[in-house]
Amino acid sequence: MPQTLRQIRDNCYKARERMKQARNEHWAFGAFNLDDEPTLIAVARAAQKHQAPVLVEVSQGEVDDIGLDNIRDLVDNIKEQYSIEAYVNLDHSPSIQAAKLGIEAGFEFIHIDVSQANHDDSDQAIIDATKAVVEYAKLTGALVESEPHYFGGSSNLHKEDIDYQEIKKTFSTPQGAKLFVEQTGIDTFAAAIGNLHGKYPVPKILDLDLLQQIREAIDCNISLHGGSGTPGHYFRDAVKIGVSKININSDMRVAYRKTLERTLKENPDEYSVAKLISKYVVPAVQEIVESKLIDFNSSGKAVV
């Protein structure tokens, strides 16, 4: 059922206050991608078991497949069914118009990332697009997130090693972060400190000293994208420094696919794939989500 503007504004206000609380209390919201309903159920069960608040996020691909209003309704229905604290994040929205539609649909978190559509967008184009979304988000109070340049990788299982000498060229800097926040008025800065979209053969290495410098340079929220494949101790230290949102996708997708492949092989005569997904895949994805909630120090932090 569609929400009223007042309900949307109330939800966004609560989300905004809870992000402040996360930073002050040194825990982070896990932002988990919604690929389908079983994935959402896995996230909800993990959140319920650990009494942890979560963000359910979708990028443009999921929006195209499922629809903004259907996503909003799915999350709202699951929130009620499992009695959990959950918000919706529009991740890597590729255009101002797409971000506006997410705001109008009642998403509490909006990530505007025009560099996803055009990796070579100018600094000024990114700033202008971000400012436009920040201004429009005043309609509901949604929190707006952005970064000043393209963030590499993809939400997939990569076979190549990580070329840190190359990705260091795109690391955030304290001065750059401060200037971008001042120019755009964003609520959340997506920091690049060694985090990278996707899952790789080698663990990711985060520059926590750089993160500390960025934290000291800006006063808004900080998020980490590309959290999959990162040793948990980095997350535990990052939330102590002041990160309040961490994105996870590839770890869940890999668990989903590998479990489904194994389950289909072990059950060649079962043609109710949905039954197999419910019995085997959902618990496997839930286990991944639970481990992240512990690393993010968000267990027991839910306010329903």
SS3 of 106-150: the string is CCCEEEECHHHCCCCCCHHHHHHHHHHHHHHHHHCCCEEEECCCC
Which segment of 171-185, 188-202, 238-252 scores lowest on mean pLDDT?
Answer: 188-202
Q: State yes or no: pLDDT of 163 exceeds 80.
A: no
Distance between first and last Cα of the chain: 20
Catalytic residue among 35, 91, 187, 251: 91
Both tokens assigned to 180: 């971008």
Q: Is 91 a catalytic residue?
A: yes
Residue 272, domain member (yes or no): yes
Indicate left, alpha or beta for 186 from its phi (over 0: left) and psi (-120 to 50: alpha): beta
CATH number of the domain encompassing residue 102: 3.20.20.70
* Residue 189 predicted with pLDDT over 70: yes
With cut-offs at 50, 70 and 90, classify the pLDDT of residue 158: confident
Q: Provide the pLDDT confidence category of residue 165 given band limits of 50, 70 and 90.
A: confident
Could you tell me if residue 300 is inside a domain? no
Residue where the block lists tokens 């934290």: 215
Mean confidence (pLDDT) of the chain: 94
Q: What is the total count of domains within the chain?
A: 1
- Residue 188 included in any domain: yes
DSSP codes of every residue in the chain: -PPPHHHHHHHHHHHHHHHHHHHHHT--EEEEE-SSHHHHHHHHHHHHHHT--EEEEE-HHHHHHH-HHHHHHHHHHHHHHHT--EEEEEEEE-SHHHHHHHHHTT-SEEEE-GGGT-TT--HHHHHHHHHHHHHHGGGTT-EEEE-SS---EEEEE--SPP-HHHHGGG---HHHHHHHHHHH--SEEEE-SS--EEE-SS-----HHHHHHHHHH--SEEEE---TT--HHHHHHHHHHT--EEEE-HHHHHHHHHHHHHHHHH-TT---HHHHIIIIIHHHHHHHHHHHHHHTT-TT----
* Whether the Cβ atoms of residue 193 and residue 237 lie closer than 8 Å to each other: no
Q: What is the pLDDT of residue 40?
A: 98
Residue range(s) defining the domain that contains residue 149: 5-295
Question: Is residue 64 within 8 Å of 276, Cβ to Cβ?
Answer: no
Cβ contact 139:103 at 8 Å: yes
Residue 302 lies in a domain: no
- Is residue 301 in a domain? no
pLDDT per position as a tens digit, 204-213: 899 999 999 9
Q: What is the pTM of this model?
A: 0.95
- Please indicate, yes or no, if residue 185 is contained in any of the structural domains: yes
Evaluate whether residue 258 is within a structural domain: yes
Q: Kindly report which listed range (2-6, 74-78, 239-243) carries the lowest average pLDDT score.
A: 2-6
CA distance 101 to 67: 11
- Rounded CA-CA distance 190/200 in Å is 20
Q: Are 150 and 125 in contact (CB under 8 A)?
A: no
Is a pLDDT exceeding 70 seen at residue 160? yes
Residue in the structure block whose two tokens are 């400190």: 193
Position 303 in a domain: no
pLDDT category at 121 given cuts 50, 70, 90 is confident
Q: Which pLDDT belongs to residue 154?
A: 64
Q: Output the six-digit token pair for 275.
A: 């039954």
Q: What percent of the chain has pLDDT over 90?
A: 84
Is 70 exceeded by the pLDDT of residue 39? yes
